[in-house]
Chains A and B, each alone.
Chain A
Amino acid sequence: MTAVEPSAVPAARTAPEPATPAVVSFDHVTHWYGNVVAVNDISLELGPGVTGLLGPNGAGKSTILHLLSGFLSPSRGSVTIGGVAPWRHPAIFDTVGLVPERDSVYAFLTAREFVLASAKLHKLPDPKAAAERALQLVEMIDAADRPIQTYSKGMRQRAKVAAALVHDPKVLLLDEPFNGMDPRQRMHMMDLLRDLGQRGRTILFSSHILEEVERLADTVQVVVAGRLAASGDYRTIRRLMTTRPHVFLLRSTDDRELARVLMASPAVQGVALTKDGLEVRASDHGTFTRKLARSCRDAGIGLREVIPSDESLESVFAYLVGA
């Protein structure tokens, strides 16, 4: 499902819905703590695959994850996982695994003990084997017998993921999973999550590192001040922002001439000559991209580079938050 709040674009537009069954669903969910509304009338559905949960600090990401893991009950609306409401429903823990942002308090345990404890908590038939399997999955076998307090941040993170994965949950929730990981641990965690997503798990992770979200997530959910500002594929979301001109960086054999040519097109709002090339603001994305190559050829200008500079998740996010 893709939906954009009216705050981001003048009229909400919806792209065609994919036909995957929803595993996780929020139906007009509002949650408040006292007078603070952390989540405000959010409706969303998540299917198998990796979804990124984005938003500025304090936008309500952790509240959403906690609502899903059954730590909180929605003040209004309903949250369901596979049709079951997680709040006060311990059986939900068999289908959900949560990796919290905070480090566990059991720092004196070894990773193996920690994961094994989690396996026993889930009353798995063979907790030992399940713990080994989970540790293997996060590549923590070698260090599994050291107390968690001796670990680096990335290793702690992996131990937590192993504990959350021990019962092979259908839904995996992660709060800032990449925090403190070094590049290799990051890449490894990304591969792990991507792989789990491809094997049909529903994975929702929050992150501030948009480059990572861009690479890992199939879809994103953007929360701004408790409201769901947009959801879906970020490129599609960008195209839905029709009032915002698309910015392209162009380099060519003759930038000045190209600027003249482009200014003649009604699809182009403005062109700026910079030291790196041309910065073009196109109001009509379709017409501009379709005409670009031909205009260059007709004018005899060699086109060297076309870079959409505000198509990244980073700029989409900035537009959504700033709007």
Chain B
Amino acid sequence: MSVIEQPIIEAKSLTMRYPGGVTALSDLELSVQPGITGLVGANGAGKSTLIKILLGLITPSSGQVRVLGLDAQEQGPEIRARVGYMPEHDCLPADVSATEFVTHLGRMSGLPPTAAKEQAAEALRHVGLHEERYRQIGTFSTGMKQRVKLAQALVGNPGLLLLDEPTNGLDPSGRDAMLALIRRIGSEFGIAVVVASHLLSEIERICDHLVAIDGGKLLRAASLDSMTQALPWLAIEVDEGSEPLRARLEGAGLTVSLQGRALLVRLDGDPVFDTVRDTIADLDLPLTRLEHRRHHVEELFERRELDEPTEAKL
């Protein structure tokens, strides 16, 4: 895979004010790198406005956007030829087979007739629709429909996929499969993916980067690793005897606190691990968990509620 120097999406002081006086985006600075990026926090106007601007469908009130190196205001059709978009809502006809539908949309993405057929077959294979692809879409389950929606976004061989709530309406096994698929597209296929999702746990599972937008402004953009960094706390869970364990650990000079069913031990250095191990062994306790506490993406939203003024400066 070639290394792309420029960001996949780059927005500079992007502002969108609607005639009614609603400000959907205000002075948004954004830079999306290759890989899978989660887009969170932009409910309602902000998210759909951003998608429309990225696809070059509406002109922002001010600011610039480049998508795949193309100017969104000048080169909308070129961008749309190279971006696959999977909408949040139902968008599939009931009385057409998946193959026919995806082939037609392949044509609409600019593929010649034969290539559209081949690419549609490939896209459906990659999303895991096999013999059912000749059946009418109306007979599909929610999970299969989501796959068709993904296949139509994939058919034009995009450089960027915009997925809007791709797990919407899926049950747990359907979600698992969809997330695994997105992960594969982002890593094996080498296609940059932007996933808009309200589910932070999902974003933590599949994304490399995260962009959080709030009130039309960038709240945070960072790699997911940096947002889920390990904290210097060790969570210990034992099936029984957590009180004596706590007393012994404190007796050994460790800082211990109780959080839910877990004991949190301050991790000052590697000897702490051995102290914990030996104490548990001495007390003959069943150890069910020994884990680093990590930051969660969710804290991003919790913190803002606590001290709004400082975060608003971001």
**Does chain A touch chain B in the assembled complex, meaning CB atoms less than 8 Å apart?**
yes
Q: Are A208 and B175 in contact (CB under 8 A)?
A: yes
Interface presence of B131 (CB below 8 A): no
Interface presence of B32 (CB below 8 A): no
Residues of A within 8 A of B168 (CB): 179
Q: A302-B270, A306-B290 are in contact. Are A290 and B285 (CB under 8 A)?
A: yes
A180 vs B167: C-alpha distance in the bound complex, in angstroms?
A: 11
Q: Are A182 and B43 in contact (CB under 8 A)?
A: yes
A292-323 vs B, CB cutoff 8 Å, 1 = contact: the mask equals 11101100001111111001001001100100
B108-142 vs A, CB cutoff 8 Å, 1 = contact: the mask equals 00000000000000000000000000000000011
Some 10 contacts from A to B, beta carbons below 8 A apart, are: A56-B171, A181-B43, A183-B200, A290-B285, A293-B285, A293-B287, A296-B281, A297-B277, A305-B290, A305-B291
B131-161 vs A, CB cutoff 8 Å, 1 = contact: the mask equals 0000000000111000000000000000000
Nearest to B88 among chain A residues (CB) is: A180
B interface residues (Cβ-Cβ under 8 A, vs A): 40-44, 141-143, 168-176, 198-201, 238-239, 270, 273-274, 276-278, 280-281, 284-292, 298, 301-302, 305
Q: Are A294 and B281 in contact (CB under 8 A)?
A: yes
Please tell me which one of the listed residues A57, A152, A314 contacts residue B174 in the complex, with CB atoms under 8 A apart: A57
Residues of B within 8 A of A292 (CB): 287
Query: Which one of A73-81, A126-134, A184-192 is at the interface?
Result: A184-192
Closest 8 CB pairs of A and B: A289-B286, A152-B44, A182-B43, A293-B280, A306-B290, A294-B281, A211-B201, A293-B281
A interface residues (Cβ-Cβ under 8 A, vs B): 54-57, 152-154, 179-187, 208-211, 286, 289-290, 292-294, 296-297, 302-308, 311, 314, 317-318, 321
Nearest to B234 among chain A residues (CB) is: A305
Residues of A within 8 A of B171 (CB): 55-57, 208
Q: Are B173 and A56 in contact (CB under 8 A)?
A: yes
A44 vs B42: C-alpha distance in the bound complex, in angstroms?
A: 40
Residues of A within 8 A of B290 (CB): 303-307
Q: Are A181 and B198 in contact (CB under 8 A)?
A: yes
A290 vs B199: C-alpha distance in the bound complex, in angstroms?
A: 36
A302 vs B271: C-alpha distance in the bound complex, in angstroms?
A: 9
Residues of B within 8 A of A181 (CB): 43, 198
Please tell me which one of the listed residues B42, B201, B288, B298 contacts residue A306 in the complex, with CB atoms under 8 A apart: B288
A47 to chain B, nearest CB (A): 21
Q: Are A186 and B302 in contact (CB under 8 A)?
A: no
Please tell me which one of the listed residues B277, B284, B301 contacts residue A296 in the complex, with CB atoms under 8 A apart: B277
Residues of A within 8 A of B305 (CB): 184
Nearest to B271 among chain A residues (CB) is: A302
A206 to chain B, nearest CB (A): 11
A46 to chain B, nearest CB (A): 22
A54 vs B173: C-alpha distance in the bound complex, in angstroms?
A: 12
B252 to chain A, nearest CB (A): 14
Q: Are B289 and A183 in contact (CB under 8 A)?
A: no
Residues of B within 8 A of A297 (CB): 277-278, 281
Nearest to B142 among chain A residues (CB) is: A57
A152 vs B44: C-alpha distance in the bound complex, in angstroms?
A: 5
Residues of A within 8 A of B40 (CB): 182-183
Residues of B within 8 A of A184 (CB): 41, 301, 305
Residues of B within 8 A of A308 (CB): 288-289
Nearest to A294 among chain B residues (CB) is: B281
Residues of A within 8 A of B280 (CB): 293
Q: Are A56 and B172 in contact (CB under 8 A)?
A: yes
Residues of A within 8 A of B288 (CB): 289, 306, 308, 311
B46 to chain A, nearest CB (A): 10
Residues of B within 8 A of A305 (CB): 290-292
Residues of A within 8 A of B274 (CB): 302
Name which of B171, B274, B284 has the most chain A CB atoms within 10 A of its CB.
B171
Nearest to B236 among chain A residues (CB) is: A306
Q: Are A208 and B170 in contact (CB under 8 A)?
A: yes
Residues of A within 8 A of B43 (CB): 152-154, 181-182, 185
